[in-house]
Amino acid sequence: MNGVLTAQGLGRRYGRRWALRDCSLDVPAGHVVGLVGPNGVGKTTLLKLAAGQLSPSEGSIAVLGGNPPDAPGQRARIGFVAQDAPVYAGLSVADHLRLGARLNPGWDAALAHDRVRRLGLDPRHRAGRLSGGQRAQLALTMGLAKRPELLLLDEPVAALDPLARREFLQGLMEAVAEQELSVVLSSHLVADLERTCDHVVVLVDSRVQVAGEVEELLATHHRLTGPRRGPGRLPGEQQVISARHTDRQSTLIVRTDAPIHDPAWTVTPLSLEDLVLAYMERPAAARPLALEAQR
């Protein structure tokens, strides 16, 4: 796999507390990748490590084939939009564009000014007077005009209303199509990921539980509903991700490449949200072994 972000045994510690530990993953190039998992699992730490804003406490991370990602040449190839649409309240929109041009050698002034015009942002307005959606769009403009090869977005729409969220994601997808970007988008709003991402990574306890192309994952995961039975009675090629039981009925989510022929089961497809929740709720005993220090 041609990865734009590869981590092996990656960890970051703050004092005695591990924010991320023993994380290994390979993010493919040319995709919009959704990074999803419970709060506090280390998604923000992982993205800051990828952006070169933090250094690993253990393990390794390579971004765009370079290591470490905080080298000056690497930073110019990476765009990062942190949580809460980080813009400077006292600076005008025009000030932000001038600052971007000064700080980024590959700055695309035409792209920045065109986005500002299309979004209807007044260059004279201070960022502190913009709406939440407008601030998010300004932050995205700053990230895109840098002309990065990899764009990292950390919960960029979490605080936005549905209309502003849709407009932000639409602008992102247009930019992806025009610039052929690789994108890693962290979000807990799985419905948004389903509309924008073609690849997903589910992170729980700092470990990747499942990763792959959304279309393939949805094709190989199924919900089985039928008379109560234990998972041990299923064929070996059917990996049970989650199981719920009543007195008479079992509902299982399984992963398999093989067709399901048992007529006792009613087989229904999953949404991406169903799939993500199944892995997030998966019993700890069924997950990859966690390190003692994480307990």
- Residue 209, in any domain of the structure: no
Other Cβ atoms less than 10 A from the Cβ of 103: the count is: 11
Q: Are residues 117 and 47 in the same domain?
A: yes
Q: Are residues 8 and 139 in the same domain?
A: yes
Task: Kindly provide the b/e burial profile for residues 10-38, where b requires at least 16 CB atoms within 10 angstroms of the residue's own CB.
Answer: bbbeeeeebbbbbbebbbbbebbbbbbbe
Q: Are residues 80 and 132 in the same domain?
A: yes
- pLDDT in the model for residue 58: 95
How many domains are there within the chain?
A: 2
Q: Which domain holds residue 64?
A: 3-204
Q: Are residues 123 and 262 in the same domain?
A: no
Q: Does the pLDDT value for residue 29 go beyond 80? A: yes
If pLDDT is split at 50, 70 and 90, which confidence band does 293 have?
Answer: very low
Q: Report yes or no: 240 and 231 within 8 Å, Cβ to Cβ.
A: yes
- Residue 240, in any domain of the structure: yes
pTM over 0.85: yes
Task: Please say which residue of 159, 184, 204 terminates a domain.
Answer: 204
Q: Are residues 222 and 165 in the same domain?
A: no
Q: Are residues 101 and 199 in the same domain?
A: yes
CA distance 235 to 113: 59
| Per-residue model confidence as pLDDT tens digits over 42-76 | 999 999 999 988 999 999 999 998 876 666 677 88
Q: Are residues 59 and 166 in the same domain?
A: yes
Those residues whose C-beta lies under 8 Å from the C-beta of residue 226, and which sit 6 or more positions away, are 249, 250, 262, 264, 265, 266
The predicted model gives 221-227 an average pLDDT of 95
Task: Please enumerate, as own/partner, the contacts of 11-18 that have beta carbons within 8 Å and a separation of 24 or more.
Answer: 11/56, 11/57, 11/58, 11/59, 11/206, 12/42, 12/45, 12/49, 12/54, 12/56, 12/57, 13/57, 13/58, 18/57, 18/206, 18/293, 18/294
CA distance 170 to 177: 11
| Per-residue model confidence as pLDDT tens digits over 107-151 | 999 999 999 999 999 999 999 999 989 999 999 999 999 999 999
Q: Report yes or no: 221 and 254 within 8 Å, Cβ to Cβ.
A: yes
Q: Are residues 179 and 260 in the same domain?
A: no
Task: Please say which residue of 142, 175, 204 terminates a domain.
Answer: 204
Q: Are residues 173 and 226 in the same domain?
A: no
If pLDDT is split at 50, 70 and 90, which confidence band does 294 have?
Answer: very low
Task: Please say which residue of 156, 172, 204 terminates a domain.
Answer: 204
